Amino acid sequence: MSRVSQPWPPVPVEPAEAHPKAPPAGTELGVHFGECFGCGDEVESGLHLRSRVGEGQTVHSKFTVTAAHQGAPGLAHGGLLACAFDEALGSTVGNLLRRPAVTGKLETDFRRPVPVGSTLYIATRLDGIAGRKIYVSADGHLDAEDGPIAVSARALFVVVGFEHFSNHGDPQALEKLAAAHEKAKRAREQREWEINP
């Protein structure tokens, strides 16, 4: 079986410019939702993926594989690894472009086994935009930022309106989340004012 992939992005794209209010390089990105399986603090067996903005429309994420993430004994489950990429890619789109978007397509290449106890360093880049379609890809390096690539992924995210989440998800939980974000934003602005009135 050939490993040669289709051209990427598969359609002509515009360069993906980061939003003017996107967090700058070096920013540690917080948890976007405590109950998120990918990054949430409240999910004990979750991935607890952590991300930092890199230079030039990139984000660097990492997570450590635990026994809760096994498929074969001692090895990470492929679906769990795909989940880590969904989170890393989605966080890159959400934070750098600041547009609500959902995963339309996610493709993964599993190149090396990922043992329990290892840390996957995921480097994600924005590849381009075509209307509502955002193309993004990532490489997951084993145990170091420049370690061997164990998994690669490419995804299409589709921009949606906020009603996507209220119509199809849990509107009450969404309101609570929006209120918590607003509170955190006000606290941040207050701190910035105290430092630099």
**Of 56-64, 96-104, 141-149, 186-194: span binding ligand 3VV (CB under 6 A):** 96-104
- Given candidates 18, 116, 158, 177, which one binds ligand 3VV under the rule CB under 6 A? 158
23 lines the binding site for ligand 3VV (CB under 6 A): no
160 lines the binding site for ligand 3VV (CB under 6 A): yes
- Which residues, 6 or more positions from 50, have their beta carbon under 8 angstroms from its beta carbon? 28, 29, 39, 61, 62, 63
Alpha carbon distance 35, 66 (integer Å): 18
From residue 89, give the alpha-carbon distance in Å to each of 58, 100, 157.
10, 13, 9
98 lines the binding site for ligand 3VV (CB under 6 A): yes
91 lines the binding site for ligand 3VV (CB under 6 A): yes
Q: If you write DSSP's letter for every residue of 53-114 in order, what string do you get?
A: E-SSSEEEEEEE--GGGBSSTTBB-HHHHHHHHHHHHHHHHHHHH---EEEEEEEEEE-S--
- Given candidates 23, 94, 113, 115, which one binds ligand 3VV under the rule CB under 6 A? 94
**How many helices and strands, by DSSP H and E, does the chain display?**
3, 7
Q: Which is nearer to ligand 3VV, 75 or 99 (CB)?
A: 99
Residues 31-50 that bind ligand 3VV (CB under 6 A): 32
148 lines the binding site for ligand 3VV (CB under 6 A): no
Beta bridge partners of 130: 133
In the complex, least distance from residue 97 CB atom to ligand 3VV, rounded to whole angstroms: 8
86 lines the binding site for ligand 3VV (CB under 6 A): yes
74 lines the binding site for ligand 3VV (CB under 6 A): no
- Which residue is it, tokens 């939980």? 173
- Which residue is it, tokens 């164990």? 150
132 lines the binding site for ligand 3VV (CB under 6 A): yes
Q: Other CB atoms closer than 10 Å to residue 188's CB: what's the count? A: 10
Binding site for ligand 3VV (CB under 6 A): 32, 86-87, 90-91, 94-95, 98-100, 102-105, 131-133, 156, 158, 160
